[in-house]
Structure 1
Amino acid sequence: MALSVFLLLILVCFSDCGGFSHPATDVEGHSGSPAGSLSIGAFNIQIFGLDKMEDEVAVANIIEILKRYDLVLIQEIRDSSETAIFDLLDQFNTAVAPRTYGISISERLGRTSSKEQYAFFYDQSIFTVLDEYTYHDNSDVFEREPYIVTFGVTGYSISEFAYLAIHSKPDDAVAELDYLVRVYDESIGNGAVPTSNWLFGGDFNADCTYVGPGDWDSISLWTDTRFSWIIDNDADSTVSVTTDCAYDRFVLSGNLDQHFVSGSSVVYDYWADMDLTEQEALDVSDHYPVEMDFN
């Protein structure tokens, strides 16, 4: 009898006192974020356009991934019709109703006939677009000019910040990343961006053959102490089993480190988390999104 009571007490303690661990559950669709925090993402959806929108399984998986975020940067939009991203937004809003997301989207960018756009999906109950700005790249440093959107935030301790989108050209990644400090200083100095609190995000191509160990001292965004890199160099944001590269990154400036939730900046492995086949994962993208939280 005494043994039975003892075992019962152990079971009760494990149930109520945290003895059994459970995976994080969705809080209004934000799978990885604690309640009360903002979930921010950056996702290179490989060659996103009309062809990808015709793949119903891939689109359903993309929508499931995007549900994780209150605000998400989407990169590598290649669509001369400029309709696919709006079709995705419509389907996404249907999936997350009654929440409603807006979009802020760049012009088509690129030196060659292969143009790309950046887009931000944002929860309209939380975020307001205060300003948007495409950097005037008079020196032609960037394959795709950075696109910077300043967001106002309602209901959180952080009131506003600018989010810079960048998809670096692989062979020019060192030069482009180095120049981002000049983009920051110029854009604040000339009033194009009204805040010094910036989140830099996107596919930096900042690893493997494009940015090696000997390159970091040549990148001002890395050496300047005003900026904090919050995705580790040993991360792997590539889907392929044959690569291990931390291409996709986040960098903070201003006082954003005071709002950053420590430990929240990770690569989201949707292949494993959503139990996809390898082909299903690759049909979504060759990149995993990176994500982080603000409080």
Structure 2
Amino acid sequence: MQRIVSLALLAVLVGGGWTALKGISPQSVQQAVQKVGAAVGPVLAQQGQVQATPTNNPGGQTFGGYVSQQTSGSPLFAPAPTVSAPPSIRIASFNIQVFGDKKASKPYVMRALAQVVRSFDVIAIQEIRTQDDNFIPKFLRDYVNVNAATGVYDARVSDRLGRTNSTEQYAYLFNTATVEVHPNFCAVVPDPQDRLHREPYAALFRTRVVAPYTPFTFTLINIHTDPDEVPQELDALYYVYQQVQRSPIDGAVEDDVILLGDLNTEVPAASRYTPNEYQRRIAPSDFGLLARIPGIAPLIRNQATNARGTRLYDNLLIPSLQTVEYLDSGVMDLRSELGYQLTLEQVLEISDHLPVWGKFSAIEGGSYRSASR
């Protein structure tokens, strides 16, 4: 978000990030900056749309070591639409266990997955396992976009990644009516020291809003850690996060960097269906070096994210002082939130993980709030 808001926040809050684990929730951060937002909102409103920024690198722009083929003077994003977007968006992450040909052979599973996708404006997918290059386009065509009343979804899919023959792909699926992806900056983040089994997949997005409002821009880092190397990979993600956070895009650095995915944090948790006497809140020590990033905060604190309701594996991590657009978060209950009741066995056909999500203002700086809050 805008630096003016970040500086004001520093004046309002001393600490942040992991201090939220000591009784200060992200909602408290949101409440604390309402006065700041009221003061800064008119300034943001006067800024209007983000303008195209010409590049001075005719050979392409560097994004964490990835060189895009952007031509000099090309626009940052496509033109804004002529209608207003909803006041908020939902960003999700979902490890769809072995998402490939076997699941595609079960239309009822694919229909359920399409319902999940349509519940969010952007959803980061992990564990795509197929050799079919058209797998995700066909999923969108045959299931997700069959009901296009709320918008047509598009996708960006990574290369196949992994050290063994069992490779995986990441994907971002997003509602083109409410969100757009940067045309050039969607890339696998290089890992030259081979510290990660699967390199993360990063992309820059912005909401589709019209003047006088400024779109909320944000970078997502999609990751699926190796369950056998979690401590080492969480430490490696500390460097990945900093690499992405410091990488200029069209001459500017995006400070709303959200790391999301299946982190395989072995935190005992519980659900409404499964009590767990060992459940606890997630702690900085569960993230290794990642916890040292200033202000970093997980949105899921004490809810199970696996289908069996016993572990907190998945999360979204935000820079809490910068991302004042944050409004709410949760874990999607696949047993009851698809419009019909499912058994655990039926949910496990969909995935052994549950979608996790965060809700954000569609306006940079959060200058107005969702009517539901």
State the TM-score bracket (shorter-chain normalisation).
0.7 to 0.9
**Match of 1:143, as an amino acid?**
H
SS at structure 2 position matched to 1:206: strand
**Match of 1:229, as an amino acid?**
P
Shift of 1:95: 2.0
- Gap runs ≥5 in structure 2: 1-85, 269-280, 362-373
- Correspondences of 1:159-170 after superposition (within 5 Å): 159-170=216-227
Change (3 A) 1:255 1:134: farther
Structure-1 separation of matches of 2:283 and 2:246 = 31
Q: CA RMSD in A?
A: 2.4
Structure-1 separation of matches of 2:350 and 2:344 = 10
**Residue in 1 aligned with 2:258?**
199
Count of residues in Structure 1 that have an aligned counterpart in Structure 2 = 254
Indicate which of 111, 116, 130 corresponds to 1:60: 111
**Match of 1:239, as an amino acid?**
A
Shift of 1:151: 0.7
Structure-2 separation of matches of 1:214 and 1:101 = 36
- Correspondences of 1:96-135 after superposition (within 5 Å): 96-97=148-149, 99-130=151-182, 131-135=185-189
- Correspondences of 1:254-273 after superposition (within 5 Å): 256-261=322-327, 264-273=328-337
Shift of 1:213: 8.2
Indicate which of 236, 252, 256 corresponds to 2:304: 236
Change (3 A) 1:191 1:86: same
Change (3 A) 1:185 1:52: same
Change (3 A) 1:78 1:196: same
- TM-score normalised by the chain length of structure 1: 0.79
Q: Cα deviations across residues 110-158 of structure 1 (Å, max 9, x unaligned)?
A: 0100111111111112222211121111111111101000012222755
Bigger RCO (CA 8 Å, 6+ sep): 2
**Residue in 2 aligned with 1:29?**
none
Structure-2 separation of matches of 1:246 and 1:218 = 12
Divergent runs of 4+, >6 A: 212-215
Structure-2 separation of matches of 1:49 and 1:226 = 37
**Residue in 1 aligned with 2:46?**
none
Q: Cα deviations across residues 31-62 of structure 1 (Å, max 9, x unaligned)?
A: xxxx6210111111110011101101111111
Most deviating of 127-136 and 66-75: 127-136
Change (3 A) 1:36 1:214: closer
Q: Is the 8 A contact 1:99 1:123 kept in 2?
A: yes
Report whether the alignment pairs 1:154 with 2:187: no
Shift of 1:214: 9.3
- TM-score normalised by the chain length of structure 2: 0.63
**Residue in 2 aligned with 1:171?**
228
**Residue in 2 aligned with 1:27?**
none
Q: Is the 8 A contact 1:53 1:59 kept in 2?
A: yes
